Amino acid sequence: MRAVALSLALAGCAAADYSAADAVPQATSIGTDTTIRWVTLHANVLPTQLRDSDAPDAGYRALPQTFAVPSITDADPQVALGTFDLEPPVQQTAVFQAFRVNPSVADLPGETVQVVGLVRLSQPGSVQSYFGSTNGDGAFTIWAVPGADYVVQMVPADPLLPMSDSTLDVEDPPRTDEVDLGAGVPIYGFVRLGDSPMKGARLHVVDAYGASSATATADATGYYQIRVEPGTWTVVCEGRDNGTDPTVALQPQVVGDVGAAVDVTYPLIPPADLHGSINDSDGKAVQGATVRVISQSLTGFGDDVTATWSSDIPAQDNGFFYSGLPRGEYTIEVLPPATDKGDQLTPVRTVDRSIGAGLNKLKASETTLGPLVRIAGSVTGPSSHGLSSAHLLCREVGFDQRTYETFTQQGGAFSLDVPNVPLDCEVAPPATNTNLASSRFPVDPSSEGALELALVGGQLVTGQVLLDEIPEAYAVVEIHDAGDTLLGSGLTTKDGTFAIPVDLHSALGDGSVVP
């Protein structure tokens, strides 16, 4: 038997970070590690009833809110978080205007205009993020939880009006803000394919928070312009609207008071052709399958840019597929169809696949979809006794992230047919075992032997949720670690209290230990 006990880092790992090697079950048990660490948590509270009534124009009585929790140790058997007092939201308003430059490279002449666009109001590290749009008069209204250091991102629909980042304190009572974006400064330049203009190329810029501007289109000469506030910006070119051009992201650039000239050049290299046939292990063509190609590096681009290209290529009824793509190194995934018993097939992945000039054919080993395989074992509690009615949910790591699930039988036994690829499996204890915490386990179905998925008694996290000094019944409380991994969740009772078992040993620590 191969034991899979809860190791210290499992629940803090994102599914996309697992490789086949990472998914080999670990034998490290919590009981063998006596290190006590400091852990930082935060709680997201999702109120039961958001609006005051069902009327379309009703105000908000409460909104989801994040509460920071002081650092604790992962040795505490019970953690009391105290009282979470929900702040009633307020209606925040603002009016945006800007100076539209004409001609586009000069400060004058021009005109002051009201800004039509998208607005995002967010408090970093919290669930307190709100989206909306301005009306034709540039006015913006949104409900928000009062608090400091909100980030306001204004993205005008017109790329010749400046994109803006600013900070805002949402106060109660709220105030009306009049925001003048000014004329901004230009990011401009030429997009070329070899030595020729790339007419119709689509470009945008990305700010330091990851928000994108409106899209500008290169004219017949390849010229484009996007206006921004001075700051650090990344120019991204998506190529033309034909699906064949890579997306090119340049290095972030500090843009000063006079703007910045940024040219984008695509190499003039003919594309490659990719083809093959998708079959199952019996040699039968698989209808409706998909070939997903994701570039790792592309030929002809320098180290000063990040060039990427991806596409989903559908297979024909006879399993044959054919497509053109830029030359380079690729990860290629062959995905089973969503219908016609596709859930009974295993996807296949090939990495570091070189796609060069001319016709490139994928081998049968790269396109054959095998059958599911069976994993079996048991789910046990702290005293190694089997847990019946535990819920096992396994998700593919990557691919289409399909899920497969079952409940354990008498004695904790289970068996489940799954794709033969690395899996991220979550085990929830039976509803009657409220003293146990849900846990995640990486599973490699190709490993031999039975699985023993050992749940542990979680530390009990308790507290109370109030709104206007009244207990908030049936609110959802989520406990997250510093990496924002969900450790556990539960509902408040009629008196607003909650008690949620979580596994603090698997939480992301702050790097320090208790002396």
pLDDT digits (tens, 9 = 90+) for 474-494: 999 999 998 898 888 999 999
Last residue of a domain, one of 243, 266, 289: 266
Query: What is the CB neighbour count within 10 angstroms for residue 320?
Result: 12
Same structural domain for residues 397 and 482?
yes
Please report, in angstroms and rounded to a whole number, the separation of the first and last CA atoms in the chain. 37
Same structural domain for residues 103 and 80?
no
The domain of 286 spans 272-356
| Percentage of the chain exceeding pLDDT 90 | 69
Same structural domain for residues 438 and 468?
yes
Question: How many Å apart are CA 86 and CA 179, to the nearest integer?
Answer: 29
In a domain, 135, yes or no: yes
Residue-wise pLDDT tens digits, 70-126 = 888 888 778 899 999 999 999 999 999 999 887 555 555 788 999 999 999 999 889
Question: How many Å apart are CA 388 and CA 413, to the nearest integer?
Answer: 7
Residue-wise pLDDT tens digits, 42-63 = 999 999 999 988 888 888 999 9
CATH number of the domain enclosing 200: 2.60.40
Q: Give residue 20's pLDDT.
A: 32
**Residue for token pair 């005109």:** 111
Q: How far is CA 120 from the centre of its chain?
A: 17
Nearest to 443 by CA among 370, 392, 406, 487: 392
Same structural domain for residues 253 and 316?
no
Same structural domain for residues 483 and 403?
yes
Same structural domain for residues 390 and 500?
yes
Q: Give residue 506's pLDDT.
A: 76
Last residue of a domain, one of 299, 324, 356: 356
Same structural domain for residues 53 and 99?
no
Question: How many Å apart are CA 38 and CA 397, to the nearest integer?
Answer: 30
pLDDT band, residue 9 (cuts 50/70/90): very low
Same structural domain for residues 282 and 262?
no
In a domain, 349, yes or no: yes
In a domain, 153, yes or no: yes
**Residue 447 has what DSSP assignment?**
S
In a domain, 177, yes or no: no
